[in-house]
Every structure is written in C-alpha cells, then in structure tokens.
Amino acid sequence: MNNSEYRKKYEQLVSELKKVSLFGSCGSVLGWDEQANMPPKGGEHRANQLSLLAGMGHQMATSPELGDLIGELEALKSFDDSEEPEAVVISEARREYDRSTKLPQTLVEEISKVTSLGQQAWIEARKNKDFSAFQPWLEKIVGLKREEADAIGYDGGQPYDALLDAYEPGASTAEIDAVFTAFRAPLVELLNEIADSPVKAEAALLERSYPIDQQKEFALEAAAAIGFDFEAGRLDIAAHPFCSGIGPGDCRLTTRYDEHHFPGAFFGTLHEAGHGIYEQGLDSEWYGTAIGESASLGIHESQSRMWENLVGRSQPFWEHFYSRAQHYFPTALGDVPQVKFHQAINDVRPTFIRVEADEVTYNLHIMLRFELEQLLISGDLAPADVPEVWDEKFTESFGITPPDVSQGCLQDVHWGHGLIGYFPTYALGNMYASQIYNQAEKELGDLGQMFAEGEFLPLKVWLNEKVHKNGRRYKANRLVEVVTGESLSHEPLLAHLRNRFGPLYNL
C-alpha cells in the first residue's frame, strides 16, 4: 500500500464530501425559511428553488468521480469493518453513494418539489380541518415514496425497510415491530393501572393564561440553562416545531405558542433544544463526513426526548425552575404548589395530539403511525381512507375518537414533508434515552440532585463526549452498546415509566 497516495485520496474524498454537505446546507436554510419566514404566496417559487437544489445536490452526491474516488480508497486500504473514524468515513461514503445512485435525479427533484408544496398544503388543510385539500398531495407523496423504495430495494423484506433505512440505518421493519410488540402489552398494563388510580392531576391549571411573551422568555432561559448555545442558534415560530442543523455554528429551533396551554411551547422548546445540543455537540472538524453527522434519527430523538422528559418533567428540574415559572406567570401559578404543578405536567390520560402526549401514551401514538405507514407504502391502505382508518385504530388504542382531522390524521407535518419512515424513531429514541440516561447517572452520580441545584452541564458535557462526538462512528444499536454495555431493550424505558408514575399515582 502506498500510504502517501492513500492520504492524498482520502483528503480529496473529505473535501468532496464537505462540498456535498455545504450544498445541502443551502437547501436547509431555504427549508427553514420556508416554515419560519416565507410569505404564503412564495410557496410555488420556493418549491422550484428546492427542487433545483435537490437535483444539483444529487448530481454532486452521485458523480462518477466521487464513486471512483471511494473505490480507489477501498482498493488501497482494507479496514475489515473497522470502527476507526477514517474507515467509517469511507464505508459510510460508500453506503450513501450506493443508495443515492439508485435514485434517478428526476425522482429526487420531483420528491423535493412535491413535498415542499405538500407541507404548505398541509398547513392550510390542518388549519381548515379539511383532509380533502391534502388528500391529492398525500396520494402523490405516497406514490413517490413507493417509487423511492422500489428504486433502492429492500432485500426480500418489505418496501418500508428501504424508507426506514434513511432514518435508522441498518434497522428493519421486522426488528422494530418485534421490539414494539414486546413493549406494548406492559405499556398498556401500566396505562390501565394509572386509569384505575383514584389520584387525578389538576391538568386544567396548565390551561390558565400564560402570556406568550413570558412563555418565550422562560423557554429561552431553560434552553440556555441545559446547554443550548444561542450564540450558535436561535428560536423562532413555525406551524410544527422542528430543529434544523444548518452547519457548524448555525442551529435553528422553532416552536409554537398557545396562551392557554403551557406545556406545548415549553416542553416543545426543551425537545428541540435537545436536538440542537446534539447538533452543536457534533465535531465540527469532521463536518461533511460520517463522523460529523448524527448516528441515526433514533439517537437524535433520544437526545431530545431525554431533555424534554427524563430531565424536563422530573421533580428535581422543577425544584430549581418552579420559582422562575412563578416569576414569569404569577397569575397562573402564584397560588399553585409545586407538587400540584408537577403532577399536572405528568398527567397521564389519552389525548389526541402526539406532541402534547404524556410519556406513557406517547409510544402508542408512534405505534399507530408505524402501522399506518407500512400499510400506505405496501398499498394496503389508500390515502383517501386514512381519516377513517386513523379514527378507527385511534379509538381502539385510546378509547377516544378525534373530533376532526386537525386532531387526527392531519396533526403532524411528516407525511406532507415526505418523511415516511421517521415516526418509529421517536419510540426508539425513548428507549435509547432511558438506557443512556441510566449510564450517565452511574458515571456522574445523582443527576437529580444536580438538577435541583441548577447544574445541567455535567450531563450535557457527558453526552457531548459519549454520544455526540462519535457521530456516525457506530450504528445506533452499536453506539448504545458502546456507551451502556447493553443492546436495545424496552425494559429500561418501562422501568423509568414505572419509577416516575408509580409514586405519582400511588400504584
């Protein structure tokens, strides 16, 4: 092996990968602006812009020169499935290149354009509670995603596997279904125990008047306290909360406010700040390569769900922050003891909206979407039938029926944005989060005591070192094994739920 030749070609590969990422980040800025700032009449022009960029980016990512360069490096040096950073850069470059080259540029451009217009149609359809306005777009998007799955291939499994792989590399529908099936029965058992408990939270106190300006100030304060760097990020408003990691030094969060629903914006901001802390924790020296990218959406969601729930809904968190909440909202919370507030933010009961769901029922929301997405992609569920089937399965799982599509099948932006295959990563993220958090406490000590004293940075720094800086060095399951010594299991999450809600509901 000629080491100098290898080094020269490796550095050339990194340079090319960074160009691809930089180009993609330009599209990310336009995508963020589309949801946060763009005037409604700019939608069609923005869709054309994004389609053009998607096509050009696809050309860069699938150029024969890039493929030749990857092949030359593979010929010069064999890593034998090594987890060393440079080996991962090359192997992941190969994986991404092979996946991308299977997709025709015309399909990539069409998906970009249709999903841009689709998410704009979703905003209006949701606002007007009118599924018929979104149905043609869902039909187009599902058709395009089936084409994508067929182009990529799925090794004898099912089409959904090909879409899932974009978000959770290496995972299969069958594996996730097995994990969810094992989790569902004890989860429903816990939910039934809580429902039978005579203890009831006063959830109505969270629907008092919480002025939006104060909500924003409080959310900004809390996000900064847990470690989100606002010198390298910002918080804006969007129809559906999201985090956009534009690149090193630029991470954008969004949330939405309701004067009469405190948890939505506050916990939504903590959730997106968790995503942002992950993005800000990636090693900028490796930007553009696999080591500078998140391991998977499941791991990404583990970080957001950890800060939102394991930290943000914990009693120690509010031992520190409750006086600040009363400062911002004296009329709403001045007469409310902390214990009643804590019970209210951990109220467990079936609700229609996923992003406002408690920790127990949230996972059932995800299982519903996981099931419906598979049916849509396999062709066993027609988009026109989604509202009826959604309501039927939702009633079966939760015992309540959505009063309209804005609280049913139109509540999430994901399908309008073409993000089919994304939803299961939320429940996987809950599982990963519990395992990773348990390990953090073993190594750092009593995290609850730290939170009560306003010390959140020890956990943030630990996550930076153990999770974030690894990038995509390990697949998600492997990363969790490296960090915790254990493979994926629903048991730590179930134990967390019982430890939190058992005392709250006298179980």
Q: Among all residues, which ones are annotated catalytic?
A: 272
Q: How far is the C-alpha of 428 from the C-alpha of 300, rounded, in Å?
A: 10
- Give the distance from CA 324 to its chain's centroid: 28
**Packed helices 359-378 and 131-152: angle between N→C axes, nearest 10 degrees:** 70
* Closest alpha carbon to 344 in 353, 352, 354, 332: 332
Phi, psi of 313 (to 5 degrees): -100, 10
Tell me the C-alpha to C-alpha distance, in Å, between residue 181 and each of 128, 281, 362, 369, 430: 36, 33, 15, 14, 15
Complete DSSP assignment for 174-212: HHHHHHHHHHHHHHHHHHHHHHH-S----GGGGGS---H
Contact 340, 347 (CB under 8 A): no
Of 199, 202, 201, the closest CA to residue 507 belongs to 199
Are 425 and 140 spatial neighbours (Cβ–Cβ below 8 Å)? no
Among the listed residues 315, 363, 351, the one whose alpha carbon sits nearest the alpha carbon of residue 187: 363
